[in-house]
């Protein structure tokens, strides 16, 4: 059993015992949730980037790109159609749900991702690698569609000017800035610290390097109005650049252990409050159609669409189904939802929170009880 399931129970118990904590009532506070979920996601993205590094060829990146280029847009289309026709939500709300539920979560999925930094001679190219790379990429690439939903919510329809703004600014400009800033900061860090390693008197506090890189990369990208999530992930990848080029370790490599511990601490904190919100009634706004909607997405749509995208991937059938099945939704979805509610003009807010909370709960419980059994069997398969 994953550690997340007992934490859910603990959170529910603490809420039931009326422990004096700032519990949701029953819907999460927008500002607090937005800031905290944002912090958890960027730390998780840095962890994912550092674990992968630059040890994988373009061919080995093809499967994560399949999940991003095929599974993600098809999944968004299914979510939009079901939300629009089955749940009878408006177009902007249906699109928001599609964008919010599209990314797999880099935080709650940590149990099924790479558990250590990868090296050329012993890198993982199976289930864990593909899930880590997918989470790192798609938690960044969902943002343009969140902004499209926000734009739509502020107008009766999307005219030429809105589409032009979205394509030029929210899609092309912000993605480009995120990519450039992320690569530049990762490369610069790798170059500078490699040069500094020649001077024996200089010591770098490795424990705090990854946290610092996370905040610098995210802050720089956001300051330039780019996508900070994408920037952080790419910074994590390129922080290994010179070590990878020379195939050697350096004393200046960021410490994955410390930032992983920080990530785990935040996840524990978040899970306890999520468990409390479940007992507190955040699911009360669900209906039979919304429960059916969430179940279809988790149990049918993601596994099926994931398998379709990996059909000619070269992986065996077990790994294809495992990668397709473990599409966990979590803290990233909460961030996108609260961001859109804060800056957009959406109706059905309570229903949106309930739907997303149910899908996250279903993902946590379902994957929590299967992760420990399935992943070890598939790792060396």
For 288-344, the DSSP string reads HHHHHHHHHIIIIIHHHHHHHHTTTSS--HHHHHHHHH-----HHHHHHHHHHHHHS
Question: Nearest Cα to 277, choosing from 172, 361, 157, 152?
Answer: 361
Locate 379 and state its tokens.
């790792």
Q: What is the pLDDT of residue 117?
A: 57
Is this model's pTM higher than 0.75 or not?
Answer: yes
Q: With both helix axes pointing from N to C terminus, report the angle between 174-196 and 228-238 in degrees, rounded to the nearest 10.
A: 30
Whole domain around residue 279: which residue ranges? 4-379
Q: How far apart are CA 377 and CA 372, in angstroms?
A: 9
Q: How many domains does the chain have?
A: 1
Structural contact between residues 364 and 5, judged by C-beta atoms closer than 8 angstroms: yes
Question: Nearest Cα to 47, choosing from 107, 122, 4, 128?
Answer: 107
Residue labelled with tokens 């994560």: 64
Report helix, strand or coil for 372.
helix
The series of mean pLDDT values per 10 residues for the chain, 381 residues long, is 82 90 80 92 91 84 92 96 96 96 73 57 70 85 95 91 95 96 94 75 65 95 96 92 57 68 90 92 94 95 92 84 82 93 91 95 85 65 53
Q: How far apart are CA 214 and CA 322, in angstroms?
A: 30
Structural contact between residues 336 and 318, judged by C-beta atoms closer than 8 angstroms: no
Cα-flanking dihedrals φ and ψ of residue 207, to 5°? -60, -35
Report helix, strand or coil for 38.
helix
Q: What is the pLDDT of residue 181?
A: 98
Q: How many CB atoms sit inside 10 A of residue 330's CB?
A: 32
Q: How many CB atoms sit inside 10 A of residue 340's CB?
A: 25
Instruction: Count CA atoms within 13 Å of residue 111 on its CB side.
Output: 22
Question: Which residues neighbour 381 within 8 Å (Cβ) at sequence distance 6 or greater?
Answer: 126, 316, 318, 319
Q: How far apart are CA 155 and CA 132, in angstroms?
A: 37
| CATH number, residue 88 | 1.20.1530.20
Question: Nearest Cα to 254, choosing from 13, 19, 102, 47?
Answer: 47
Q: How far apart are CA 41 and CA 315, in angstroms?
A: 29
* Residue length of the chain: 381
Locate 262 and state its tokens.
């920080």
CA distances from 288 to 91, 249, 292, 295 (A): 21, 55, 6, 11
């Amino acid at each position: 059993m994953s550690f997340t399931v007992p934490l859910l129970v603990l959170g529910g118990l603490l809420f039931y015992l009326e422990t004096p904590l700032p519990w949701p009532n029953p819907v999460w506070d927008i500002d607090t949730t937005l800031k905290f979920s944002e912090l958890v996601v960027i730390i998780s993205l840095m962890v994912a980037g550092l674990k992968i590094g630059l040890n994988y060829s373009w061919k080995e990146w093809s499967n994560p790109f399949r999940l991003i280029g095929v599974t993600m847009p098809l999944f968004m289309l299914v979510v939009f159609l079901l939300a629009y026709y089955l749940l009878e939500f408006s177009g902007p709300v249906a699109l928001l749900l599609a964008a919010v539920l599209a990314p797999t979560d880099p935080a709650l999925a940590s149990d099924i991702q790479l558990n250590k930094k990868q090296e050329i001679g012993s890198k993982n190219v199976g289930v864990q690698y593909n899930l880590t790379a997918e989470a790192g990429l798609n938690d960044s690439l969902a943002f343009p569609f969140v902004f499209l939903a926000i734009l739509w919510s502020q107008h009766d329809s999307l005219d030429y000017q809105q589409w032009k703004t979205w394509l030029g600014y929210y899609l092309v400009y912000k993605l480009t800035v995120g990519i450039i800033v992320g690569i530049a900061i990762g490369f610069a860090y790798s170059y500078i610290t490699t040069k500094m390693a020649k001077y024996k008197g200089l010591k770098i506090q490795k424990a705090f390097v990854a946290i610092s890189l996370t905040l610098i990369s995210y802050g720089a990208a956001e300051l330039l109005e780019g996508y900070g999530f994408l920037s952080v992930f790419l910074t994590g990848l390129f922080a290994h650049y010179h070590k990878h080029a020379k195939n050697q370790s350096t004393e200046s490599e960021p410490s994955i252990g410390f930032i992983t511990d920080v990530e785990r601490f935040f996840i524990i904190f978040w899970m306890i409050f999520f468990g409390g919100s479940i007992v507190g009634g955040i699911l009360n706004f669900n209906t039979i159609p919304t429960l059916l909607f969430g179940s279809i997405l988790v149990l049918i749509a993601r596994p099926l669409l994931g398998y379709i995208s990996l059909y000619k991937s070269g992986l065996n059938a077990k790994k294809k189904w495992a990668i397709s099945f473990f599409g966990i939704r979590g803290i990233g979805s909460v961030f996108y939802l609260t961001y859109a509610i804060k800056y957009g003009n959406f109706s059905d807010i309570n229903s949106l929170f309930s739907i997303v909370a149910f899908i996250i709960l279903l993902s946590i419980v379902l994957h929590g009880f299967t992760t420990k059994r399935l992943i070890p069997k598939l790792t060396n398969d």
